[in-house]
Amino acid sequence: MKLVVLDRDGVINEATDDVIRSTADFVPIEGSFDAIARLCQQDYRVIVITNQSGIARGLLTIDEVNAVHQHMQQAVASVGGRIDAVLFCPHKPDDDCSCRKPKPGMLHSLMERLDIELNGVHLVGDSLRDVQTAMVVGATPVLVKTGHGARTIEENIHLENVEVYDDLAEFASHLLGTGEE
């Protein structure tokens, strides 16, 4: 099975210091939906994993998160792509849950659901916790410079073995060998 795992905020949509409560707050990064579509057209399954602590902090509801995810999935479908699943952690950073990245709970759940190992599967993110999460399960960490990615690269000197791309579109082009951007 060909699989790519994506972080949401900063990879698919613009990162913000505020909580994304509605579809109006969800601003896609240029080319991200098309990149997902191109991956799908080459038989990749695309899974999104995202921390959404705003739920536990009372800033948004699960229904609001689900509405944003449904909007994202419909927008990707409108350009010929598909997001096979969206997994999210609703907990606060200090809740000590097993699913909040950089802990691997969401990836363990994914591995169990799909009955696969994630060795070599690309996990694309914009933060150090995305890199750490990938490494815990043997996935291949990828950083994009969108969202918090440029700052993550600047602030962390031990990322020499991590693939870095300008954005999701450039990563997809590289993975697919198309050279398109």
Cis preceding linkage at 104, omega within 30? no
Instruction: Determine the pLDDT at residue 17.
Output: 85
- pLDDT of residue 67 exceeding 90, the answer is yes
Sheet of 85-89: strand order equals: 85-89, 44-51, 2-6, 122-125, 140-144, 163-165
pTM for this predicted structure: 0.96
β-strand 163-165 against 85-89: which pairing, if any? unpaired
- pLDDT of residue 104 exceeding 80, the answer is yes
Q: pLDDT grade, residue 157 (50/70/90)? A: confident
- pLDDT of residue 180 exceeding 80, the answer is no
Q: pLDDT grade, residue 179 (50/70/90)? A: low
Nearest by Cα to 125 from 180, 76, 167: 167
Q: Are 33 and 168 in contact (CB under 8 A)?
A: no
- 48, two tokens: 């999104």
Can you tell me the mean pLDDT for 75-79? 98
- pLDDT of residue 178 exceeding 80, the answer is no
Q: pLDDT grade, residue 18 (50/70/90)? A: confident
Q: Can you name the CATH fold of 2-176?
A: Rossmann fold (3.40.50)
> What is the share, in percent, of the chain residues with pLDDT greater than 70?
98
Distances (CA, A) of 31 to 14, 46, 106, 167: 12, 16, 26, 8
> Apex CA 163: angle with CA 162 and CA 166, to 5°?
130
Domain assignments of the chain as residue spans, ordered by start: 2-176
Report which DSSP code applies to 26: -
pLDDT digits (tens, 9 = 90+) for 131-147: 999 999 999 999 999 99
Just list the catalytic residues. Answer: 7, 9
- 117, two tokens: 């190992």
> What is the share, in percent, of the chain residues with pLDDT greater than 90?
93
Nearest by Cα to 17 from 54, 71, 44: 54
Instruction: Determine the pLDDT at residue 130.
Output: 97
